[in-house]
Amino acid sequence: RNAKIPTRLGDYQLYSAYCLYTGDPNTYQQAILKGEEWKSAIDKEIEAHQKHGTWIPAPLPEGKKPIDTRWIFKTKQDGTKKARLVAKGFQEEEHYEVYSPVARYATIRMLISFAVQRNWDIRQLDIPTAFLHGNLDIEVYIKTPEGVNTNSRTLKLQKALYGLREAPRKWNERFHDFIVSHGLIRSGSDFCLYFGAGAAVVVWVDDILICGPRSEELIQAMVKEFNAKDLGTLKVFLGTEIVRSKDKCSISQTTYLDKVLTKFKMKDSRGAGTPMEFNFQYEESSEAAEVPYREIVGSLMYLAVISRPDIAYAVACLSRYLDKPNQLVWQAAKRVLKYLNFTRDYALIYRKSDMHEITAYTDANWATDIQDRKSISGTAVFHCGNLVSWISKKQQCVAQSSYESEYLACAQTASEVLYLMGVSQDLSGEKVCPVIKIDNQSVLKSAQNFENSKRSKHVNVKAHFIKDIVTKNIVKLEYVQTNDNVADILTKALKAAKFIHFRNLMNLEKC
């Protein structure tokens, strides 16, 4: 039978866009032949497993199947060589309790904005071989990996080896128990945020961000408990560069962007003033384009969700045609790269502000897609004047009027605001009442009037959701002029002057 990539691994081509080619070895034998640096990295990894007691030599019980392993090799940003031994967890028997939370990017941006307001330094830590701190409570056997010196053909795992389905969850449980024992509380809004007792901590697998008066105390505790590496002030996180000065902080992905531009041979391209042609519309064509379209869009997604909200609409639009790219969308994708090359030095700027509040903007572009006539929702959320969250998303149902599409967009924005309100209250300890700004007077009046409306009966649940949180003073709705509604940039392709106006309102600036 033909081998197939497991469905749970998703689109490999899309994923590969995040792993730009570096020339690292793919197998154990290749690494050994490449020189002493890689051999030392392998030895270091095996020593770590021996130190943690990851496995013990053991014969394979009858009826048990051993899991294969493989070596993963990577050159880190500082040039050091990293070797990682992983289990092929997809060969395991199915288990139910394998979910492990991951921090949302918006939570991380909220932490940065909060630290800027308090003049707090954000420290970064790395937990070496983090998963090996998690104890296994099931029997798992692996085939003896290449490079491990033992006479046994199989090993019984004692720790949660990388690649196992349970490994992330076991590490998360271990870290949770540790940090809670030091007086911090897990956030109900984001399970990877811990707060209280003079500190705020965000955990992203084995990377830790921490700020607050108790930072040094907690860092020393993590060094003692997990042999954590103190990387100092936050500078690079998840491929994102963070530059902190006295009164502001910039967030960018210049290094990653340069790799993308080089890979797709766009480094010397002529610039484009906007990421997408004004009023761009997809047109079906029987002639498919044999081009790396998925890889380009995957690379652009990583930029759009972390530091470049100005390309969010364009990338969301292009991502709808991954299964049927033609020359039209291929040229549109290249235009986004041209725009990014033109604005390579731009960064998302956070500043200290007297506005200690959450302000959101919501907008919709009604029936914009001529293929299915579904509308586009746009959401932009600011904390203390700093953009911490943005969404550009096609609505799931066809709105029958602009009023209806605006209501659906407002519900999307309200959901995001409630989550960020929870994060803000956890970090500050202060109750906040966010403001949602909308440029549709009809929706504004309807939301503030609890009577049933014939115009909103098709979006009944969304309508009552908005009315409920407004009536209870959980959020406020305010009118904003269309020219000041920054969410407009997330709903359509704009002309240059208007696009630049909204980009400036997002605090995307040349550095």
What is the tens place of the pLDDT at every residue in 246-255? 789 999 999 9
Question: Hunting for tokens 């991951």 — which residue is that?
Answer: 102
Q: pLDDT tens-digit profile of 364-397?
A: 999 887 778 999 999 999 999 999 999 999 998 8
Q: Measured between alpha carbons, how far is 114 from 134 in angstroms, rounded to an integer?
A: 31
pLDDT computed for residue 453 by the predictor: 56
pLDDT computed for residue 14 by the predictor: 47
Q: How confident is the model at residue 74 (pLDDT cuts 50, 70, 90)?
A: very high
The overall average pLDDT reported for the chain is 90
Q: How confident is the model at residue 18 (pLDDT cuts 50, 70, 90)?
A: very low
Mean pLDDT of 145-173: 93
Q: Residue 23: is its pLDDT beyond 50?
A: yes
Helix (H, G, I), strand (E, B) or coil at 427: helix
Mean pLDDT of 284-295: 81
Closest CA to 316 of 300, 292, 294, 293: 300
Picking from 65-69, 117-121, 137-141, 205-209, which range would have the lowest pLDDT averaged per residue?
Answer: 137-141
Q: Residue 459: is its pLDDT beyond 50?
A: yes
Q: Residue 98: is its pLDDT beyond 90?
A: no
CB 414 within 8 A of CB 389: no
pLDDT computed for residue 136 by the predictor: 87
Mean pLDDT of 449-464: 64
pLDDT computed for residue 260 by the predictor: 96
Classify the C-alpha dihedral 365-366-369-375 as positive or negative: positive
pLDDT higher at 18 or 203: 203
Q: Measured between alpha carbons, how far is 443 from 456 in angstroms, rounded to an integer?
A: 9
Half-sphere exposure of 20 (CA within 13 A, CB side): 18
Mean pLDDT of 350-369: 90
Long-range contacts of 465-474 (CB under 8 A, 24+ apart): 465/411, 465/414, 466/407, 466/410, 466/411, 466/414, 469/414, 469/418, 473/433, 474/418, 474/421, 474/433
pTM: 0.87
pLDDT computed for residue 397 by the predictor: 86
CB 358 within 8 A of CB 435: yes
pLDDT higher at 453 or 232: 232
Burial pattern 486-499, b for ≥16 Cβ within 10 A else e, equals: bbbbbbbbbeeeeb
Mean pLDDT of 252-276: 95
Q: Residue 417: is its pLDDT beyond 80?
A: yes
**Which residues are CB-neighbours of 318 under 8 A, at least 6 positions away?**
297, 300, 329, 332, 333, 336
Mean pLDDT of 478-502: 97
Q: Which domains does the chain have, with CATH numbers?
A: 7-95+135-164 (no CATH), 106-128+171-248 (3.30.310.10), 251-342 (no CATH), 353-480 (3.30.420.10)
